[in-house]
Structure 1
């Protein structure tokens, strides 16, 4: 399986340079790498909604400065970033996204490379769908970036499964690099199907999407894996997740957590990291204690009976 999982989860850099200062961001990056972390996940649009400029780029800029101040660390980390969802007009938000036209993709990647100060983006994502541009044009544009050496591998974030499959078939027919990774919102708790979520653009990992990833041998990355801190602070749980199956799953989660003297978050991360298919969680943290908690989850290895209990496959 072409997962490029590296060593565990990816450190989410969404708030670097906006909600998190450069000093705090650097401290998190230093600790992550010192503990064996490899993947750093960002986007060209992070975090436009929290930036006075109304545009993205702050996160990539902070990462680029950290890389510049740590000569040689580039050999120890891999960069994941995304294009397609950065506003082209300050303050216009989602109404003016850059999109996935070939010229927009090329311009966005050039900007990301400059801010990050790197020659290659290890994993580039099409952040959101753009159905105003022919899929064939998108496939050709992304494939050209890999052929030119500016990008290592490609992924589709927040795309419908049928669009991913069509894009991959088009890439095969045109002999260019296909999407090898899928990124969706996924966690141990699941929302009510079709229930609206407050976050624009989030696409839930459906059973069909998970089956597709496993069947095709793709790498799967997941965001919002810890539900914005709701496992530790239940009052944060969104309405779409408040239903009877959540109660059952949380009870099972607590039993397994007690068994292993672990936190809810650690059990959830282990459930994702060693499940089938293997999932690379993108984990965003705001302090070193949260980061250490997540890194400690890499030492937790759930047994088959733990997974059966978590997934409701045996009597409680």
Structure 2
């Protein structure tokens, strides 16, 4: 399916829950520009962000921790805050075109050799100040708690985030990877605008409780990894070899023993995409957009061609039968492997 900027220009916008923030139906996750998906080029990434704005992307997602994973393995060109600095430079002079989201709470340990979760109110305030500085902006549109600190009541963390709204430093607040009860507790302190977690055809864990809770509370759901870490694009096959620094090398779902099983549903996706004259990834995103919830996926990429392709998903029509067919093809019991390896940093919040 071909795509031009004119196709998105008139498309409906989504109002993020409990806010006045309006965004296009598909955003851009920027984690891979700093870590986890092999080598990245800052100049190329900057160009991609700017060209994404040109074609209509207006919801940009980053986090203060993005980049730190590379520093932990000796890459001195990346580190804590790298992605925010990159995005800040890329949107300089174009701030009014962006609904800017970033996250806090995952921070380096004192020895710099690992990460920990910090949701203490004083850290919420200092983390926000640091993010504002790195991004080069006066206000963050959507500020997420990347993970909840198990040692701090969610009410305390969200209370500190609410004070940032009162101070005009943040426009709206969100959470990432929380349970439905945690979401309700947080929402009782201050309206939650968005909840970010993994959701795609091949990761359906949020459907039982999280998505219904979001609908009940009027919270927009923001899926990260909506393309299954590229599995749903059709770009992964039995002979695929990932480059150094790509965390999929240790991802259980990409292991030799699980990959063959997981490629089965992808074949069904690809076959339907051929019939509909679109790309598999566009079809996977269209399935998400067709769900009966307020959903704004943020597929991540370092390349503008893929940004354009992802936006094209808004032009893929799906019938009820096709939605049901894809849902059945990717039934959870047909997907082999856990989301993360036991010691994967993604379990602590370093995903996109």
TM-score range, shorter chain: 0.7 to 0.9
SS in 1 for 2:51: helix
TM-score by length of 1: 0.83
2:52 corresponds to 1:36: no
SS in 1 for 2:60: strand
SS in 1 for 2:216: helix
SS in 2 for 1:152: strand
Query: Which of 53, 58, 66 pairs up with 2:82?
Result: 58
Aligned mates of 1:33, 1:254 — CA distance in 2: 29
Q: Deviations over 1:214-271 (max 9, x none)?
A: 2222100011111221122144785458499957743542343122111111101111
1:84 maps to which residue? 105
1:144 maps to which residue? 163
The correspondence of residues 163-312 of structure 1 with structure 2, limited to 5 A, is 163-169=182-188, 171=189, 177-190=190-203, 204-231=205-232, 232=234, 233-235=236-238, 239-240=252-253, 242=258, 249-312=265-328
Aligned mates of 2:100, 2:171 — CA distance in 1: 10
Q: Is the 8 A contact 2:105 2:145 kept in 1?
A: yes
Deviating more after overlay: 285-294 vs 248-257 = 248-257
Q: Which gives a bigger RCO, structure 1 or 2 (Cα 8 Å, sep 6+)?
A: 2
Aligned mates of 1:100, 1:206 — CA distance in 2: 27
CA shift, 1:137, in A, is: 1.6
CA shift, 1:2, in A, is: 3.8
2:173 corresponds to 1:154: yes
SS in 2 for 1:64: helix
Q: Is the 8 A contact 1:55 1:88 kept in 2?
A: no
Structure 2, unmatched stretches of 5+, are 1-14, 241-247, 330-352
Q: Is the 8 A contact 2:52 2:304 kept in 1?
A: no
CA shift, 1:106, in A, is: 0.5
Q: Is the 8 A contact 1:139 1:178 kept in 2?
A: no
Query: Which of 52, 67, 74 pairs up with 1:47?
Result: 67
SS in 2 for 1:282: coil
CA shift, 1:278, in A, is: 3.2
Query: Which of 69, 75, 80 pairs up with 2:96?
Result: 75
CA shift, 1:42, in A, is: 0.1
1:197 maps to which residue? none
Q: Is the 8 A contact 2:253 2:262 kept in 1?
A: no
Query: Which of 89, 93, 102 pairs up with 2:114?
Result: 93
Aligned mates of 1:61, 1:243 — CA distance in 2: 36
Aligned mates of 1:120, 1:213 — CA distance in 2: 25
Aligned mates of 1:146, 1:289 — CA distance in 2: 36
Aligned mates of 1:213, 1:107 — CA distance in 2: 29
TM-score by length of 2: 0.75
Q: Is the 8 A contact 1:41 1:282 kept in 2?
A: yes
Query: Which of 14, 19, 23 pairs up with 1:6?
Result: 23
CA shift, 1:124, in A, is: 0.6
